[in-house]
Amino acid sequence: MIVITGAAGFIASYLAEVLNQQGRSDLILVDDFTTNAKRSNWVNLHFEQCLDREAFLPWFKENSKFIDLVFHLGARTDTTEKSQEILDHLNLNYSKAIWEVCSKAQIPLVYASSAATYGLGEFGYKDEHHLSTQLQPLNLYGQSKNDFDIWALQQNNTPPHWYGLKFFNVFGPKEYHKGRMASVVLHTFNQIQEKGQMQLFRSHNPQYKDGEQLRDFVYVKDVAKVCLFLQDRLPESGLYNLGSGKARSFYDLARLTFEALALQTNITFIDTPIDIRDKYQYFTEADMTKLLAAGYTEGFHTLEEGVGNYVKEHLVKEQAQK
């Protein structure tokens, strides 16, 4: 059986759907399943059992011998989270507990780290282990992810194979519940339906024009492929970047959404909210050398391909069904 934590959320529910498509229904789904906004992410999945995240750890200790692999993708992902207690519980201590069971029972573990660990990119975007202790995340969320990466690298007792995936800016189907934290593609699509236009954050950095803030955007379908590659191939353990390897602008992301809808681009700018303005990454770009050297050959969607597929094959069709 395969455990997937965060299974009501974005990436994990999409991965579970892909596993279903491959004929795997022996899934243990773990999350807080009481949030109605996430219900459609998991209700139609085929699985062995659903477990509340607070009930999972005791269950896991008792049933670890039946588990083949753990995808630990559940976390508090809000980059504006101010509660150290919540982040310590969900992102650090919970992850440590899963690691320890996987180590004792010798179960491979794939867990979600984040590109938020890189902060302003002072040390670049290389997934080299020795850099982890030097990184300076810009928020408590990024710090919690980096704290676990550092802890994992220090352990003598480890799962037989383990992978910490530094997710860059993931977009795609099943993110509708993320609200403020959803991708610019989804926000653009929704604003077009409501207002016929899109408002992007204005740049507050003189080195970047409005809308020209650059991020590494990666399609969730590529993220799932990488997860399955790790499951099947079990390369060398460690931290791995997971982006497209190519930085693109938020303006491009919004423009391509208009183009996918065959509409004229209509983009204006508003001030970046004060609560995130000083903690804002203006550039990220994953160095994908390590994953490619490990044998990953599936490639990645270009931004044009990913946005086009997401809008036409998912957002438009979902809108028509409402």
15 with 60, same domain: the answer is yes
Q: Decide: 6 and 38 in contact? Cβ < 8 Å.
A: no
Q: What is the DSSP letter of 163?
A: E
- Give the global pTM: 0.96
Which one is catalytic: 94, 111, 141, 296? 141
Residues 272-308 have pLDDT tens digits of 998 888 888 999 999 999 999 999 999 999 999 999 9
- Residues 178 and 112 placed together within one structural domain of the fold: no
Q: Which two tokens stand for residue 132?
A: 């982890």
| 178 and 82 within one domain | no
Q: How many domains does the chain have?
A: 2
**Residue 192 sits in the same domain as residue 270:** yes
- Helix/strand/coil for 167: strand
Q: DSSP letter string over 34-89? A: T-GGGHHHHTT---SEEEEHHHHHHHHHHHGGG-SEEEE------TT---HHHHII
In a domain, 320, yes or no: no
CB neighbour list of residue 281: distance below 8 Å, 6 or more residues apart? 116, 118, 119, 120, 121, 138, 215
- Please give the share of the chain, as a percent, with pLDDT higher than 70: 100
Q: Does residue 245 carry a pLDDT above 90?
A: yes
From 178, 221, 246, 279, the catalytic residue = 178
Task: Over range 167-171, report the average pLDDT.
Answer: 98
What gap in Å lies between CA 12 and CA 43, rounded to an integer? Answer: 13
Give the least confident one: 2-11, 74-83, 120-129, 281-290.
74-83
Q: Which secondary structure element, helix H or strand E, spans residue 139, and what is its range?
A: none
18 and 95 housed in the same domain = yes
The CATH code of the domain that includes 207 is 3.90.25.10
- Mean pLDDT of all residues belonging to the chain: 96
| Same domain? 236 vs 306 | no
Is 310 labeled as catalytic in the residue annotation? no
Residue predicted with more confidence, 88 or 122? 122
Q: What is the CATH number of the domain that holds 57?
A: 3.40.50.720
Amino acid at residue number 114: S
Q: Is 163 a catalytic residue?
A: no
| Residue 89's pLDDT band (cuts 50, 70, 90) | confident
**Host domain of residue 14:** 2-170+218-246+289-293
Residue 199's DSSP bridge partners are 268
* pLDDT category of residue 76 using cuts at 50, 70 and 90: confident
